[in-house]
A and B are shown apart, each in its own frame.
Chain A
């Protein structure tokens, strides 16, 4: 992993993550609603647990891409969480990959992402996401309503501006 100069937000205790969980649940459901075939390619890895360590986030994400019972949960940093694979990178780089704007191999070569655990499961997840038409980030933006949508617009515009120059 490259030396990261940006500071990570301080870890959040588990109780503070409680309000985040329903939001994450909605996000994963929305993604599957918008992209119903997203996890079809995962074959034997639908039951796998992926821990995603997105750089500055004060918590980890746990993804279990079971199409029948998808899970995306926030986990506290600190204790080692059992998982099949762990993917580490900055929020921006991981968002790029999730959106098909970043090349996983290039990010790996440049050491911007790091993978441990079951590499086959990670490659399979990468291939499944890369097979998508459309944007996962747009699905997430699309969930925002009212003031959240209003506040999110500048961030969305900034994301799309930057995405146009990526890769």
Chain B
């Protein structure tokens, strides 16, 4: 998968180990230390960087797992660590001071004061911004911080409060932020009823029912449809299945000083990575050359086959 991203033109690729130290801790995904070693070599040979995600939150008694992951990443020579937990940030800043630190969106740092704190205390070199800021807000923020900024441009649009969402934990006892898995597949069930509709459940909670010809979304509580006494017809209580797509806004993002663009999808396929990364590579190169980006159709790869510019365009995006 890392190779697919590099081959499609990514300048840098995020990856994680096969454990709770990263926020995409899904079965069969991620890297052993040996795999990471060869993948870093491949990326470097092709001029790309590898950023190791250690962006979940360590809990009492489990910190050695994050320390070992950081030590291993430093030994292998990853180009940066992306972190959210201040304990993990402090450990890397102290023990691996030569390594670059990036601040994950999981840290939920959206003000100059918060980002400046991370820069001052841990030497953070880049902050990934939460997907709740408009373009003018990003411009203002950039003027008041000393580090690079990175924004999401494509992928999942499950906002909630990034780094603080406990819906999965509430439903099944597994924490998105501390165990690294939102709606872990081991707790998801799909049943088909006699009418051909699919009923999606997380743990013991039914979270949606998709009619036979209806588009589906991820089985997450925030994207579920529910009924209440006041509103008996099923409705999206939080937000509907939809993906972020900012390809049209690339010139605006460049103009306000965004340094790096992030495509979400470590748990997606080679086909997704190839198409989305390849499409954005061409669009970014066009913008860099002063041309309008060639907008390619990525709708088939979006959640619910719907896309939005989210809060980047307006505070009320629903």
Interfacial residues, chain A to chain B (CB-CB below 8 A): 1-3, 41-45, 96-97, 100-106, 108-111, 114-116, 118-120, 122-128, 130-131, 133, 166-167
Contacts and interface: CB of A to CB of B under 8 A. Distances in A.
A105 B191 contact: no
B6 to A, nearest CB: 12
B1 A131 contact: yes
9 contacts: A102-B271, A105-B269, A106-B300, A114-B190, A119-B189, A124-B185, A127-B267, A133-B3, A167-B300
A123 B196 contact: no
Contacts, number: 105
B300 A110 contact: yes
B216 A122 contact: no
B134 interface: no
Contacts of B314: none
Contacts of A102: 269, 271
B304 A1 contact: no
When A and B form their complex, which 8 residue pairs have the shortest distance between CB atoms, in order from nearest? Answer: A127-B28, A124-B28, A167-B271, A120-B186, A100-B270, A120-B185, A124-B27, A103-B272
A110 B215 contact: yes
A119 B272 contact: no
Contact of A123 (B27, B192, B213): B27
B229 to A, nearest CB: 31
Contact of A122 (B185, B217, B302): B185
A48 B315 CA distance: 47
Contacts of B241: 109
A1 B196 contact: yes
A99 B212 CA distance: 27
Contacts of A109: 215-217, 241, 302-305
